[in-house]
Amino acid sequence: MLDQLPPIEVAFAIAGRHLPADHGYALYAAIARRVPTLHKAAWLSIELISGAPLGKGLIRLPPSARLYMRLPADKYGEVLPIAGQLLEVGGQELRVGSPILARPLAPATSVYARIVTIKKFIEPEPFLDAARRQLDSLEIKADLELPRDAEGRFRRRIINIKGKSIVGFSVVAHNLSDNDSLCLQRHGIGGRRIMGCGIFFPISNHHRAANGQ
Kindly report, as residue ranges, where domains of CATH 3.30.70.1890 are found in the chain: 8-104
The pLDDT tens digits for 9-40 are 999 999 999 999 999 999 999 999 999 999 99
Task: Tell me if 160 sits within 8 A of 151, measured CB to CB.
Answer: no
Check the CA dihedral 71-75-79-80 and report its sign. positive
CA atoms within 13 A on the CB side of 200: 27
Classified by CATH at the fold level, domain 111-209 comes out as Alpha-Beta Plaits (3.30.70)
Nearest to 154 by CA among 129, 123, 118, 113: 123
Architecture in CATH for domain 8-104: 2-Layer Sandwich (3.30)
Residue type, 94: L
Q: Give the C-alpha separation, 93 to 89, whole Å.
A: 6
The CA-based dihedral angle spanning residues 130, 132, 135, 140, taken in that order and rounded to the nearest 10 degrees: 180
What H or E segment, with its residue span, contains residue 166?
strand 164-174
**How many residues appear in the chain?**
213
Work out the average pLDDT over 82-106. Answer: 96
Could you report the per-residue pLDDT of 52-85, keeping only the tens digit for each? Answer: 999 899 999 999 999 999 999 999 999 999 999 9
> What element of type H or E holds 152?
none
